[in-house]
Structure 1
């Protein structure tokens, strides 16, 4: 049904300027992503001839992706990344939530002391060299578990869990204890299932971080078969010679690819899984951001 626009002229101008500004912002955000995607499907040697490729590939080619996927190194790196993201996220969420649940109990001995010690870690962290020596003494260097154990707990994420756990009615736990459930069973069977919004939020945060982390593989592993995809991408981008990159990606020097085209194709490959997974967790993510904002 048609209704009369009751906005004043000033409000109409202001609203339209907002729309224009948002469209410009969206374009400025999305176009670089589209540009990378289009160029990754363009013939590498054609892109080097000059000119800009705007909306569609000027000379469509799958040689860039063919070169990347034929390299055994990138598939190994992708497997490491998937494994560390899944395992690391599950253990991080479970362990951090378990500690947060314990700290949410008022009867916990020295509870305030634990909170003070945890708060200090938000402002002060171990320097690089002591952290390296600590991981070396634990025997985690050049092992897969260097991606998992040091990142199983985050006090910042604990605070988010804590805010949610404090809103869970005490009656749920009391009823479970009457039925004979212990604290661990209550945490697994009751607390975690009703905390899915915050669980999904923390899982998204940590999962994206695990997927994008390249520094850990760069600093703490020397074995090529233990390096994640982001470290692989970093090494690709760090190369300055086309011959070096082509030699590292299967020796396909005669293919119509360049160092730049392989960089772009690798960037698309490493980014796509997160882009695909994000919409499925977005609804939990929005709920999780509202934690603590309303009290009911």
Structure 2
């Protein structure tokens, strides 16, 4: 029969202090997001008076209507969705294939490949050589600049490799006896039994692709190919919000300011991934735990 251990007064005080500190940290993390959302849903002209902290004082959707009236944001949203889906699929497929090859004991020189890959985790050529290489490969102002450079990650390879090494060799050996080749074993056996790690890496890279604004800012000059996060950067850091205001048809009454447009654009660009992330967060924990325990 189990008995509950009675906590000392010192332990109880520690728990209360720890809980209070965690609440403070959560508040400091969540409130800035809440502040942006509240002001985005408030009338733009009224928000200029200040004093809005918890709830909209004059609820209005005019800022969001203006944002969605802009053709640029819808184009950027389409580019972001496309590069997130295509980039994630290509990244998972390519990284998993390299990891599977490195997990095979008969691969010649795999120790050397692991050393070279480890070096790339800590050292890189830098921005200028990367830009020159991207230019020479003809990927500037092209959609593939979002896909090809991000197809491989050695960090994700290590996660795949840890999982593939735990797959019983009997599965692959039985398939080889039946005449299956490497590609057949990979797609019909390895990938189906590795769906937890596949989901983990897909989540890692999907979040990266959605939040990536730097690639569009450096390698893409064509505004029709820039993703939503680069569009948000232009709205916040440049005069795009004033251009959006100027594009409002004459005769349309709206109480929208450049500041309210910036806040509404932030909400629109971050809302999809914010809503999806809580449902997939558990895969992050699984991803870090993969390969850490054996039994």
TM-score range, shorter chain: over 0.9
Report runs of 4+ in structure 1 exceeding 4 Å deviation.
249-254
Aligned to 2:133: 134
* Conserved? CA contact 1:196–1:284, under 8 Å: no
* Conserved? CA contact 1:197–1:285, under 8 Å: no
TM-score (norm 2): 0.93
Aligned to 1:21: 21
* Conserved? CA contact 2:235–2:241, under 8 Å: no
Per the TM alignment, residue 77 of structure 1 is displaced from its structure 2 partner at its CA by 0.2
Aligned to 2:275: 276
Change (3 A) 1:268 1:241: closer
* Conserved? CA contact 2:241–2:261, under 8 Å: no
Distance 2:79 2:254 in 1: 28
* Conserved? CA contact 1:88–1:147, under 8 Å: yes
Distance 1:260 1:5 in 2: 56
Aligned to 1:70: 69
Distance 2:87 2:241 in 1: 35
Superposed, 1:177-196 pairs within 5 Å as 177-196=176-195
* Conserved? CA contact 2:66–2:244, under 8 Å: no
Distance 1:251 1:125 in 2: 49
Distance 1:209 1:241 in 2: 25
Post-superposition Cα deviations, 1:18-75, rounded to whole Å, max 9, x if no partner, equal: 1111111111111111111111100111111122x12210110000100000000000
Q: Which runs of 5+ in 1 are unaligned?
A: none
TM-score (norm 1): 0.93
Moved more, 71-80 or 189-198: 189-198
> What count of residue pairs does the alignment treat as equivalent?
292
Post-superposition Cα deviations, 1:228-281, rounded to whole Å, max 9, x if no partner, equal: 00110000001258634523x646896311121111111111111112222332
Q: For the aligned residues, what is the CA RMSD? A: 1.9
Distance 2:229 2:242 in 1: 21
Superposed, 1:112-131 pairs within 5 Å as 112-131=111-130
